[in-house]
């Protein structure tokens, strides 16, 4: 599917935020998916994923959650620097940013009304879980890839599981050194206790970042299966 891409400016309470938007060229109202970035910023990988989502028939948009920072993209080899910037993010501010993206999408005639989903990777997987709870009137489906720290923070995204109204699908790697399997078990238990519509898939042999073909941790079989499940899930719940 032919797509068009652009970098747009959105208004937030802390000033302008860039967002990378990709959408089908053929016109008509399409469902939308917000793509939350990794700790490394809206880099070439996140832009590529955004374009891949658009080719599946969605308006896809990746907000730059580091718009308050002087350095907004960090190379994959500089993990500690990325973690340092990520740790300065504040959940309420990130949810304001998400709200700005949602407001933008709802105001566009090329976005299908009532059909906004959210996905994210690494740090963005945690943002996905939080957005599903915080923006539960607008988010209709959520898919998180190796979201770390979901049980962490005050309040933690996990503590808000009861607020999630949409179907949610979560992917983790069995050998992820950043996300203990105990965290995965806590998430599964919370969503079960709150009777949520959810699915969790833990990929044997996969580590953190298994979906990213620009990282050494790329795990092709797991990435392909997760992408197939991603397309099927959003196809059911947004299209």
User: Which residues participate in catalysis according to the annotation?
Assistant: 122, 176, 208
What are the CA-CA distances from residue 206 to residues 35, 46, 99, 179, 211 (Å)?
22, 20, 33, 12, 9
Q: Which two tokens stand for residue 199?
A: 């699915």
DSSP 3-state assignment of 158?
helix
Indicate the helix (H) or strand (E) that contains 181: helix 181-193
Rounded CA-CA distance 171/8 in Å is 29
Which residue intervals of 44-169 are DSSP H helices? 44-55, 79-86, 91-106, 123-134
* CB-count burial class (<10 Å; 0-12, 13-18, 19+) for 55: middle
Note the Cα 129 to chain centre separation in Å.
8
DSSP run (H or E) holding 232: helix 220-238
Say if residues 103 and 20 touch (Cβ distance below 8 Å): no
CB within 8 Å of 125: residues ≥ 6 apart: 36, 144, 145, 146, 147, 148, 150, 170
């Amino acid at each position: 599917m032919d797509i068009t891409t652009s970098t747009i400016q959105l208004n937030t309470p802390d000033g302008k935020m860039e967002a990378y938007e990709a959408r089908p060229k053929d016109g008509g109202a399409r469902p939308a998916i917000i793509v939350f970035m990794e700790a490394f910023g809206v880099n070439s990988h996140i832009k590529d994923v955004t374009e891949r989502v658009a080719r599946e028939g969605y308006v896809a948009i990746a907000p730059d959650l580091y718009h308050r920072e002087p350095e907004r993209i960090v190379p994959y080899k500089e993990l500690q620097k990325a973690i340092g910037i990520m740790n300065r993010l504040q959940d309420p501010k990130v949810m304001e940013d998400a709200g700005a993206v949602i407001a933008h999408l709802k105001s566009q005639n090329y976005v299908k009304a009532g059909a906004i989903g959210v996905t994210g990777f690494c740090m963005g997987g945690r943002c996905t879980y939080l957005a599903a709870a915080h923006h539960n009137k607008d988010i209709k489906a959520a898919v998180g890839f190796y979201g770390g720290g979901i049980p962490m923070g005050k309040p933690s995204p996990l503590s808000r599981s009861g607020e999630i109204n949409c179907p949610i699908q979560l992917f983790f790697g069995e050998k992820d050194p950043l996300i203990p399997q105990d965290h995965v078990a806590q998430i599964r238990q919370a969503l079960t206790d709150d009777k949520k519509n959810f699915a969790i898939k833990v990929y044997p042999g996969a580590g953190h970042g298994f979906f990213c073909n620009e990282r050494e941790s790329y795990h092709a079989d797991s990435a392909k299966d997760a992408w197939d499940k991603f397309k099927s899930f959003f196809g059911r719940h947004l299209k």
